[in-house]
Amino acid sequence: MATNMKALRDRIAAEGRNLGSGILKIDSLLNHQIYPQLMYEMGEEMARRFADVKVDRILTAEISGIAPALMTGYVLKVPVVYARKTKPITMFGPVFLETAPSHTKGGEVNLLVSAEFLLPDQDVLIIDDFLASGQTLRALVRMVDGARSRVAGVGVVVEKTFEGGRNFMRSKGYTMPIEALCTIVSMDNGSIQFSEEDV
């Protein structure tokens, strides 16, 4: 992890809560409250890691993925598209629809993107909040495949390696680069243990 992401690790260490069952509560910095300067630094770091990759647009899922995706898109100067979980009345015409299990909500959630915003023959960078089981990321990859475009890479704010998401993605034959700004290797006994590379 780059040294300027120590601020992210420190925030998670100070404010994150282990709720059990592998659920990490970081509402105070990612999906309910946001520190704009930290989020911008995360976007800069994500853009740096994918600087050598052609990116036409960024795809994420609402709602926690929007802020890091937006900051990454700002630095890379590309549009950001986010998958909706409910279909608004303004969404009509062809739609890409995938489902993925929700770790925090329980059950399956729908992910929808209007085909007018996910175009063919583009290089799409996927940015999301977590890489846990890999199911949500796989759903987003399937959307890009459905649009006949290419996944340029996957970037996440936090990877929980103990849930096996990276291995799951590789087992499905996906070879795109996967980057995590912070890596958590264990949440046993109420702890939050970071990768030694992050310390």
Residues 17-36 have pLDDT tens digits of 999 988 999 999 998 999 99
Report residues of the chain scoring pLDDT below 50. 1-3
Q: What per-residue confidence (pLDDT) applies to 31?
A: 86
pTM of the model: 0.93
* CATH top-level class of 3-198: alpha beta
Residue 196 confidence (pLDDT): 83
Q: Which helix (H) or strand (E) holds 83?
A: strand 80-83
CB within 8 Å of 125: residues ≥ 6 apart: 50, 53, 55, 57, 58, 59, 72, 76, 78, 151, 152, 153, 154, 155
pLDDT for 185: 96
Q: What gap in Å lies between CA 25 and CA 28, rounded to an integer?
A: 8
Task: Quote the pLDDT of residue 3.
Answer: 45
What pLDDT is attached to residue 4? 59
